[in-house]
Amino acid sequence: MARRYDPDRRQRIIDAAIRVVGAKGIAGLSHRTVAAEADVPLGSTTYHFKTLDDLLVAALRQANEGFAKVIASRGGLEDPQTDLAAELAGWMGEWLAGDRTGVELEYELYLAALRRPALRPVADEWARDLAERLSRRTDAVTARALVAVMDGICLQVLLAGGTYDEAYVREVLARVIP
């Protein structure tokens, strides 16, 4: 048999899962689709991840870590000089510009978490982590509110299919910050 001993096999499957969910949504994820995308046999995906939920959790957690790195790399959140509302609005603009696969993936996670208890901790982690980052620049209540506002606005933009109005978002965020 060909291609034996592939030490990164597990990681490659996770990467493939992220691509599949990004392209076809969570509903399009199956052991078979991810096996095809990762170019591994079916049995390999079931070996590394007993259930689809296991695979989803691994994939979404990795996606979250990726986003966290992007946020951290901007760094503006640390500098108390910058205008927090403007900083966040700009960041959302970047996030929503161009390829929205990442954003869609994130909110699809939200959807799935509503019905799949296994995914809830992952979704909660993301919101909690973001709020925690914001807490360095404002109080906890405001941080939580900012996360809610940003979620709501992202959803509106995605669903209305419209364009992103950065000035509007900056204005709303500024109102929430006391």
Partner DNA sequence: CAACGTTGTGTACGCTCGTACACATGGGAT
Partner DNA sequence: ATCCCATGTGTACGAGCGTACACAACGTTG
Residues that bind DNA (CB under 7 A): 1-7, 9-10, 28-33, 40-44, 46-48, 50-52
Please provide the size of the chain in residues: 178
Element (H, E) at 71: helix 52-74
Between CA 37 and CA 105 the distance in angstroms is: 17
Tell the smallest beta-carbon distance from residue 19 to DNA (Å): 15
Q: Which of residues 62-101 bind a copy of itself (CB under 8 A)?
A: none
Residue 26 token pair? 């969570």
Q: Which range, of 11-19, 46-54, 79-87, 153-161, touches a copy of itself by CB under 8 A?
A: 153-161
3-state secondary structure of 175: helix
Residue 140 as a binder of a copy of itself (CB under 8 A): the answer is no
Which partner from the list DNA, a copy of itself, none does 171 bind, CB cut-off 5 to 8 Å by kind? a copy of itself
User: Are the C-beta atoms of 77 and 71 separated by less than 8 Å?
Assistant: yes
| Nearest-5° Cα angle at 93, 59 to 83 | 115
Among residues 40 and 119, whose Cβ is nearest to a copy of itself?
119
Residue from 39, 65, 132, 171 touching a copy of itself (CB under 8 A): that is: 171
